[in-house]
Structure 1
């Protein structure tokens, strides 16, 4: 990374936490150790899986708040049973002082209750006395494996009036992100957007995640890279330098660029945080180590439908 881009990244990450960088964690075994590798007060988003439901996400959020993090729980619409359940969840978030939530559809095949998709949950939360001050929604620069592009665009247009920001799906190259951002700028999308990037991780795991999430263009981008198969067999980790470089000068631009980075860590926090510090020149101290609570392992991540 050249000095100009390093300076731009440093400036972007020096802004207030809510507009700079967010680390996504999975509420599974090892989450607490992973969180302790982050600086005190970091913004941490907590995913939600159909196996453990919203309760696991809320429990993890409670622990993270207690440790001084700024927490953004994922609220999966298909896992919300009814209005009473929604009232309970919003009440717990308010009691914890959580003022930011990320509304997704969730990846369970059938909804448990009255909210079959993210838009339905957004509508139910609209105007609610305990609605978090900020609500985010997902966007799909590389498309969705089960939803056609026109439907995604209509869904985004409907959500834009009910949300405060958007987060892109995980991408492994900049081109789809940049092309999508320009398309949305021309279409008049006013939501600030966080660019979703992977953290530092083993190449084999990276490819497995991409295949599971149906990220065809990014998988092809990985395959186009010289010696990609050989690198999959090596222990050296993947680092998203080539992805970050074209995005750096657009960070901090809420209109035509990206307000910040949303880092999909898959709980590989320590190498990812060190990589970002190295790229930006920032130095921060991790929070004190806390004894981890045992958790059952579940699959990593959830589709952001």
Structure 2
């Protein structure tokens, strides 16, 4: 019985935003083998054909990576495993990985990156080393990393020279490969720096489409921890301001605001080079999948 006759007010659904819904079409998401085991059936939470990146953390056996890719394929997803240069010993290892991914999971796309370890264990140190190897011939799609706020592992002085030179090299590589290429970025929390960066790389002759990274719904403490570990730059201030507001401290942080602004900019500037959204499910895959489903509907 309701106290004093008052009924609990149901939470109202979020307002429909057609621009945001359009912007989210074709969004991708990321898993690791250990997080994938927490999902009973990917087809129950993600649209068929969703591109699912498989993060390859140093120490994860290739057997687990390939098994995760095969499972995603069987459940109607498009697996895109990471190929981190610095944890791949040599070309024999690389070609073996590729053969297994293709043979056991039908993989024909990959995210090519340096990797999150300080020193290479073998012959490859950069994504350019991997791309130059020729091992990815026949792949339909190759994505490379982008850093809207720079990356101190690549540019220790805090500048952007090395990341800019790397993007220029990848642009030239895209002009001599049959694979579709795109830039997948680190996650950010602010629209304005992203717009400025995207416009700047385009002005510099980089016309690869950008898949902008955002963090899925998560506790604020979780996001701050991951952001510091991953070297997120000035847009971290968005989280810091939120942390200072005690009324919002316990509420999960969602990427709605930053993506709504980017979606509006895309609608007003159709040539804007951000083509898609990539979600890092730092608060759990199901939470991110639910957020995507809610906000990517075409109609209310």
CA–CA separation in structure 2 for the residues paired with 1:72 and 1:30: 14
Counterpart of 2:18? 7
Match of 1:88 in 2: 96
Distance in 2 of aligned mates of 1:186 and 1:243? 23
1:37-56 Cα shifts (integer Å, max 9, x gaps)? 32333211110111215443
Query: Which residue of 193, 205, 208 maps to 1:188?
Result: 205
- Can you give the 5+ residue segments of structure 1 that lack an aligned partner in the other structure? 15-19, 284-305
Q: Distance in 2 between matches of 1:121 and 1:2?
A: 45
Superposed CA offset, 1:84-133 (max 9, x none): 1121122123222212100011112321221111110011136x54x411
CA deviations 1:147-173 (Å, max 9, x no partner) are 221011001111223341111111111
Taking the aligned partners of 1:55 and 1:267, their CA distance within structure 2 comes to: 26
Bigger-Rg structure (1/2): 2
Give, in whole Å, the separation in 2 of the partners of 1:198 and 1:146. 21
SS of the counterpart of 2:18? helix
Aligned mate of 1:198, from 215, 218, 222: 215
Q: Do structure 1's residue 247 and structure 2's residue 262 form an aligned pair? A: yes
Distance 1:167 1:84 in 2: 27
User: What does residue 238 of structure 1 align with?
Assistant: 253
- 1:289 aligns to what? none
- 1:214: which partner in 2? 231
Give the number of aligned pairs: 272
Residues 1:273 and 2:279 are matched in the alignment: no
Partner of 1:160: 171
Partner of 1:24: 30
Structure 2 residue 206 is matched with structure 1 residue 171? no
In 2: Cα distance, 1:190 partner to 1:240 partner = 25
Paired residue for 2:117?
108
Structure 1 residues 229 and 145: CA distance shift in structure 2, 3 A? farther
Q: Distance in 2 between matches of 1:172 and 1:10?
A: 19
Q: Quote the Cα distance in structure 1 between the aligned partners of 2:144 and 2:169.
A: 11
Higher RCO, 1 vs 2 (CA within 8 Å, ≥6 residues apart): 1
CA displacement at 1:270 relative to structure 2: 2.1
1:33/1:226 CA distance change after superposition, 3 Å: closer
Residues 244-298 of structure 1 deviation map (CA, whole Å, 9 limit, x = unaligned): 1111135598853311100011361222222223223359xxxxxxxxxxxxxxx
Cα distance in 1 between the residues matched to 2:204 and 2:270:
15
Unaligned runs of 5+ in 2: 1-13, 175-180
Q: Secondary structure at the match of 1:278?
A: helix
Counterpart in the other structure of 1:69:
77
Contact preservation (8 Å) 2:86, 2:114: yes
